[in-house]
Chains A and B, each alone.
Chain A
Amino acid sequence: MRRWAIGLWLAGLVLAIGVIVRTPFSTDMSAFLPRAPTAAQQMLVDQLREGVVSRMVLVAVQGPAERLGDLSRGLAGRLRADPGFALVANGDADAMAGERALLWQRRYLLSPEVTAERFTVAGLHAALLRDVALLGSDFGVLVKQSLPADPTGEILGLADTLAGRARPRSADGVWVSRDGTQALLSVSTRAAGFDIDAQEAGLSHIRAAFEATRQEAGVAAELVMTGPPVFAVAARARIKGDAERFSMIATALVAAVLLLAYRSLPVLVLGLLPVASGALAGIAAVGLVFGFVHGITLGFGVTLIGEAVDYAIYLFTQTPAGGRARDTLPRIWPILRLGMLTSVCGFSAMLFSHFTGFAQLGLFTIAGLVTALAVTRFVLPELLPVGFSAVGSTVFARPVLALVERRAALRWGVLAASGVAVLALASHPGPYWEDELSSMSPIPAEALAQDARLRGELGAADVRLMLVVERPTVQLALEASEAVAARLDPLVSARALAGYDTPARFLPSEALQRARQAALPAPAVLRDRLAEAVGGTVLRPDLFAPFLADVAAARSGALLHRADLDGTGLALQVDTLLLRRGAGWIALLPLQGVADRAAVERVAGGGVVFLDLKQASDQLLGDYRGEAVTLSLVGGLVIVLLLAVSLRSPARISRVLLPLLASVVCTAAIVLAGSGRLSIFNLFGLLLVVAVGSNYCLFFEGQEGARRPMVASLVLADLCTVIGFGILGFSQVPVLHGIGTTVAIGACLSLVFGAVLSARHA
Chain B
Amino acid sequence: MTSGRDRRLLLAAMLASVVRPAWADTDLAWGLPELMAGLARVKSGSAQFVERHYLQVTTQPLVSTGVLRYAAPDRLEKQTLAPQPGRLSIEGDRLLVEQAGSPGRSLSLREVPEISALVDGLRATMAGDLATLNRVYTLALRGGAADWQLDLVPRERRMLALVSGIRITGSFDLLRRIDTYQPDGDHSDMTITPDPS
A residues near B (Cβ < 8 Å) are: 93, 132-133, 135-142, 144, 147-148, 163, 167-173, 538-540, 543
Determine which of B59, B62, B88, B156 lies in contact with A173 in the assembled complex, contact meaning CB atoms within 8 Å: B156
Question: Smallest CB-CB separation from B158: which chain A residue?
Answer: A173
Task: Say how far B60's CB is from chain A's closest CB, in angstroms.
Answer: 5
Whether A138 and B115, one on each chain, are in contact in the complex, defined by CB atoms closer than 8 angstroms, is: yes
- B78, CB-defined interface residue at 8 Å: yes
The size bracket of the interface on B is 35 or more
Whether A163 and B156, one on each chain, are in contact in the complex, defined by CB atoms closer than 8 angstroms, is: no
CA distance A170 to B119 in the complex (A): 16
Write out, one digit per residue, whether chain B residues 29-58 have a CB within 8 A of any chain A CB (1) or not (0).
000000000000000000000010101111
Whether B53 and A142, one on each chain, are in contact in the complex, defined by CB atoms closer than 8 angstroms, is: no
CA distance A136 to B53 in the complex (A): 6
Additional pairs, 10, CB under 8 Å, beyond known A138-B118, A172-B156 = A133-B99, A136-B63, A136-B83, A140-B55, A148-B57, A167-B108, A170-B113, A539-B58, A540-B56, A540-B58
Determine which of B63, B110, B182 lies in contact with A170 in the assembled complex, contact meaning CB atoms within 8 Å: B110
Known A538-B59, A539-B58: A169·B110 in contact at CB below 8 Å: yes
Whether A163 and B80, one on each chain, are in contact in the complex, defined by CB atoms closer than 8 angstroms, is: no
Inter-chain contacts of A168 with B (CB < 8 A)? 110
Question: Smallest CB-CB separation from A131: which chain B residue?
Answer: B57
Determine which of B55, B60, B111, B163 lies in contact with A163 in the assembled complex, contact meaning CB atoms within 8 Å: B111
Query: What are the 6 closest A-B residue pairs judged by CB atoms, nearest first?
Result: A136-B62, A169-B110, A141-B162, A538-B58, A167-B111, A170-B113
Known A137-B80, A167-B108, A538-B60: A144·B88 in contact at CB below 8 Å: no
CA distance A502 to B34 in the complex (A): 55
- B191, CB-defined interface residue at 8 Å: no
Whether A133 and B86, one on each chain, are in contact in the complex, defined by CB atoms closer than 8 angstroms, is: yes
CA distance A272 to B11 in the complex (A): 92
Inter-chain contacts of B182 with A (CB < 8 A)? 141, 144
Determine which of A171, A172, A539 lies in contact with B57 in the assembled complex, contact meaning CB atoms within 8 Å: A539
Whether A139 and B62, one on each chain, are in contact in the complex, defined by CB atoms closer than 8 angstroms, is: no
Whether A141 and B163, one on each chain, are in contact in the complex, defined by CB atoms closer than 8 angstroms, is: yes
List, sorted by A's number, 11 A–B pairs whose CB atoms are closer than 8 Å: A135-B57, A136-B53, A137-B64, A138-B118, A140-B53, A140-B55, A141-B182, A142-B162, A144-B55, A540-B57, A540-B58
B residues near A (Cβ < 8 Å) are: 51, 53, 55-60, 62-64, 78, 80, 83-84, 86, 88, 99-100, 108, 110-111, 113-115, 118-119, 155-158, 162-163, 182, 184, 186, 188
CA distance A351 to B194 in the complex (A): 86
Inter-chain contacts of A135 with B (CB < 8 A)? 53, 55, 57-58, 62
User: Which has the most chain A C-beta neighbours within 10 Å: B57, B60, B108, B188?
Assistant: B57
Inter-chain contacts of B86 with A (CB < 8 A)? 133, 137
Inter-chain contacts of A142 with B (CB < 8 A)? 114-115, 162
Task: Say how far B77's CB is from chain A's closest CB, in angstroms.
Answer: 12
CA distance A167 to B113 in the complex (A): 10
Whether B88 and A137, one on each chain, are in contact in the complex, defined by CB atoms closer than 8 angstroms, is: yes
Task: Say how far B162's CB is from chain A's closest CB, in angstroms.
Answer: 4
Whether B158 and A93, one on each chain, are in contact in the complex, defined by CB atoms closer than 8 angstroms, is: yes
CA distance A295 to B111 in the complex (A): 46
Determine which of A136, A538, A539 lies in contact with B64 in the assembled complex, contact meaning CB atoms within 8 Å: A136
Q: What does DSSP make chain B's interface, helix, strand, loop or mixed?
A: mixed
Question: Smallest CB-CB separation from A172: which chain B residue?
Answer: B156
Known A133-B99, A539-B58: A139·B115 in contact at CB below 8 Å: yes
Known A136-B64, A539-B57: A144·B110 in contact at CB below 8 Å: no
User: Which has the most chain B C-beta neighbours within 10 Å: A138, A139, A142?
Assistant: A138
CA distance A141 to B60 in the complex (A): 17
Inter-chain contacts of B58 with A (CB < 8 A)? 132, 135, 538-540
CA distance A713 to B147 in the complex (A): 101
Inter-chain contacts of B163 with A (CB < 8 A)? 141
CA distance A93 to B59 in the complex (A): 32
Whether A144 and B158, one on each chain, are in contact in the complex, defined by CB atoms closer than 8 angstroms, is: no
Inter-chain contacts of A139 with B (CB < 8 A)? 115
Question: Smallest CB-CB separation from A147: which chain B residue?
Answer: B57
Inter-chain contacts of A141 with B (CB < 8 A)? 114, 118, 162-163, 182
CA distance A536 to B161 in the complex (A): 31
Question: Smallest CB-CB separation from A168: which chain B residue?
Answer: B110
Question: Smallest CB-CB separation from A129: which chain B residue?
Answer: B84
Task: Say how far B50's CB is from chain A's closest CB, in angstroms.
Answer: 12
Inter-chain contacts of A543 with B (CB < 8 A)? 57
CA distance A87 to B47 in the complex (A): 48
Determine which of A133, A172, A539 lies in contact with B59 in the assembled complex, contact meaning CB atoms within 8 Å: A539
Question: Smallest CB-CB separation from B183: which chain A residue?
Answer: A141
CA distance A169 to B78 in the complex (A): 23
User: Which has the most chain B C-beta neighbours within 10 Å: A132, A141, A170?
Assistant: A141
Question: Smallest CB-CB separation from B122: which chain A residue?
Answer: A138
Inter-chain contacts of B84 with A (CB < 8 A)? 133
Inter-chain contacts of A171 with B (CB < 8 A)? 156
Question: Smallest CB-CB separation from B99: which chain A residue?
Answer: A133
CA distance A543 to B59 in the complex (A): 11
CA distance A144 to B60 in the complex (A): 15
Task: Say how far A242's CB is from chain B's closest CB, in angstroms.
Answer: 42
CA distance A163 to B110 in the complex (A): 12
Task: Say how far B70's CB is from chain A's closest CB, in angstroms.
Answer: 16
Determine which of A138, A148, A169, A538 lies in contact with B119 in the assembled complex, contact meaning CB atoms within 8 Å: A138
CA distance A687 to B113 in the complex (A): 61
Whether A138 and B55, one on each chain, are in contact in the complex, defined by CB atoms closer than 8 angstroms, is: no
Whether B110 and A167, one on each chain, are in contact in the complex, defined by CB atoms closer than 8 angstroms, is: yes
Inter-chain contacts of B186 with A (CB < 8 A)? 144
Task: Say how far A102's CB is from chain B's closest CB, in angstroms.
Answer: 20
Inter-chain contacts of B108 with A (CB < 8 A)? 167
CA distance A93 to B57 in the complex (A): 26
CA distance A291 to B127 in the complex (A): 72
Known A167-B108, A167-B110: A144·B57 in contact at CB below 8 Å: yes
CA distance A538 to B59 in the complex (A): 6
CA distance A170 to B135 in the complex (A): 13
Inter-chain contacts of B80 with A (CB < 8 A)? 137
Question: Smallest CB-CB separation from A543: which chain B residue?
Answer: B57
CA distance A452 to B14 in the complex (A): 51
CA distance A540 to B59 in the complex (A): 6
CA distance A172 to B186 in the complex (A): 24
Task: Say how far B19's CB is from chain A's closest CB, in angstroms.
Answer: 33
Task: Say how far A155's CB is from chain B's closest CB, in angstroms.
Answer: 15
Task: Say how far A170's CB is from chain B's closest CB, in angstroms.
Answer: 5
Inter-chain contacts of A173 with B (CB < 8 A)? 156-158
Task: Say how far B79's CB is from chain A's closest CB, in angstroms.
Answer: 12
CA distance A315 to B3 in the complex (A): 100
Whether A138 and B88, one on each chain, are in contact in the complex, defined by CB atoms closer than 8 angstroms, is: yes
Task: Say how far A495's CB is from chain B's closest CB, in angstroms.
Answer: 12
CA distance A147 to B58 in the complex (A): 11
Inter-chain contacts of B115 with A (CB < 8 A)? 138-139, 142
CA distance A169 to B110 in the complex (A): 5
Task: Say how far A166's CB is from chain B's closest CB, in angstroms.
Answer: 10
Task: Say how far A80's CB is from chain B's closest CB, in angstroms.
Answer: 19
CA distance A540 to B100 in the complex (A): 24
Inter-chain contacts of A144 with B (CB < 8 A)? 55, 57, 182, 184, 186
CA distance A139 to B158 in the complex (A): 15
CA distance A93 to B159 in the complex (A): 12
Inter-chain contacts of B119 with A (CB < 8 A)? 138
Task: Say how far A493's CB is from chain B's closest CB, in angstroms.
Answer: 9
Inter-chain contacts of B78 with A (CB < 8 A)? 138
CA distance A93 to B157 in the complex (A): 11
CA distance A170 to B156 in the complex (A): 11
CA distance A138 to B53 in the complex (A): 10
Inter-chain contacts of A170 with B (CB < 8 A)? 110, 113
Question: Smallest CB-CB separation from B60: which chain A residue?
Answer: A538
Task: Say how far B153's CB is from chain A's closest CB, in angstroms.
Answer: 15
Question: Smallest CB-CB separation from A132: which chain B residue?
Answer: B62
